[in-house]
Amino acid sequence: MSVPTGPDTITTDWLAAALKAPPGSLKGFSAKSIGTGQMSKSFRLSLDWDGDEGPASVVAKCPSLDEKTRAIAQALGSYSLELNWYRELAPQTAVSCPRCLHIESANNDLDFILLLEDLAPAKQGDQLAGASIAQIETAIKEAARLHAPFWGNGRAEAHAWLAPSEASGMMVRNLTPTFWQQFRERYAGRLGPDILDMGDAFMAKFSNYLEYIPAAITLQHRDFRVDNILFSPDNKRAFVVDWQTLGIGAGASDVAYLIGTSIADRAVRAKEERRLVDLYLRELRALGVKADAEAVWREYRLYAFSGVLMAIFASMNVERTERGDEMFAVMAERPAWQALDLDSLSLL
């Protein structure tokens, strides 16, 4: 049997077996699309059991049906990164994420299905509305839990699949300036001249950005923003999802990306960010990491560009939607102001 890649190809027999339930115990299920992901699709499966054989619901994550999106996911290894996160790395960290119930893939992980624990009533953050400071603080603690076990000790680098291939690295280096021109044209009426000028200046120094060597290497999420974090109703717990951009580099990059893309008010971000970086440092140190505060702050400033870069590259490579257009505009605008306020260009 081929790997099911969506609700229409899932059968009750397959689903029961995947959840290690007795044959015939699952009478039926219904599916509802959830989340706002564009690289892949997620569904909540509500399960009708003949008795108390399994969970009331699970989340199924499946590949995109859009051919352009699938092609870029394959070129970047996006689906394999997430599958390998659940296969190998999730058990090695204390970061909160959904428990993986089943993994199945084919065609070099291009066709896959992930069955994950349903974390309701935790809810996805809202990228467009932005996050509260309480949510940011909770998320920063999870960032520290992700980074600490791998901080400067070579454990992340030991996983060869985390390193970008030479081909994908060259693709990012060569295509991003072209994508920036396309992005600039698409959003010229949405983004102010200061931001567009900053983007031009960043592209002129893009090679310097790519060649920067972090003070300490660790495991990175690389898309660490509130759309990829589920928060408990009281905002005291956060669960990190969407591991398709996993990589290695500076931990401060995830923190800069989170704060830059997820705090809607520029003045609030500028007021709070130094305190929030200090919170990150305290959390790392509580987990046994001897992080250099000066290096972390410098890298926080430098990687304000990470949100801008993700908006440029991702917007040109996924299926275009109305919400997606505004999300990518916001994802470029907020960290662009962050980079301007922190004089990040001077570090290049």
pLDDT of residue 71: 87
What pLDDT score was predicted for residue 203? 96
108 lies in the same domain as 167 = no
Whether 199 and 256 share a structural domain? yes
Q: Same domain, yes or no, for 169 and 311? A: yes
Domain annotation covers residue 137: yes
For residue 250, give the 3-state DSSP assignment. coil
Domain assignment present for residue 227? The answer is: yes
Asked if 103 and 232 sit in the same domain, the reply is: no
**Domain match, 98 and 230 both:** no
Domain count, the chain: 2
**Residue 67 and residue 22 in one domain:** yes
The pLDDT score that the predictor gives to residue 303 is: 98
Q: 74 and 218: one domain?
A: no
- The domain of 34 spans 7-117
Predicted local confidence at residue 178, as pLDDT: 95
Domain ends where: 83, 117, 151? 117
- Return the pLDDT at 323: 82
Q: Look at residues 96, 117, 138 and tell me which one is the last residue of a structural domain.
A: 117
Q: Among residues 73, 99, 117, which one ends one of the domains?
A: 117
In a domain? residue 2: no
Q: What is the pLDDT of residue 1?
A: 55
Please say whether the dihedral angle defined by the alpha carbons of residues 137, 138, 139 and 142, taken in this order, is positive or negative. Answer: positive
- Which ranges of the chain have pLDDT less than 50? none
If asked whether residues 85 and 41 sit together in one domain, one would say: yes
- Based on the fold, state whether residues 236 and 303 are members of the same structural domain: yes
Residue 167 resides in a domain: yes
The answer to the question of residue 133 being in a domain is yes
One domain, residues 180 and 276:
yes
pLDDT at 68: 84
Q: What pTM was estimated for this model as a whole?
A: 0.93
Q: How far is CA 47 from CA 33, 55, 221, 342, in A?
A: 15, 7, 31, 50
- List the beta strands (DSSP E) in 67-124: 100-106, 111-117, 123-124
Instruction: Establish if 217 belongs to a structural domain.
Output: yes
pLDDT number for residue 322: 83
Tell me which H or E stretch contains 337. helix 322-341
Same domain, 278 and 328: yes
Cα–Cα distance, 341 to 268 (Å, whole number): 12
Judge whether 259 lies within some domain: yes
pLDDT of residue 117: 97
Same domain, 147 and 106: no
Task: Please state the three-class secondary structure of 113-170 as a single string.
Answer: EEEEECCCCCEECCCCCCCCHHHHHHHHHHHHHHHHHHCCCCCCCCCHHHCCCHHHHH
Q: What is the pLDDT of residue 63?
A: 94
User: In CATH, what number is assigned to the domain containing residue 310?
Assistant: 3.90.1200
157 domain residue, yes or no? yes
**Domain CATH number, residue 26:** 3.30.200.20
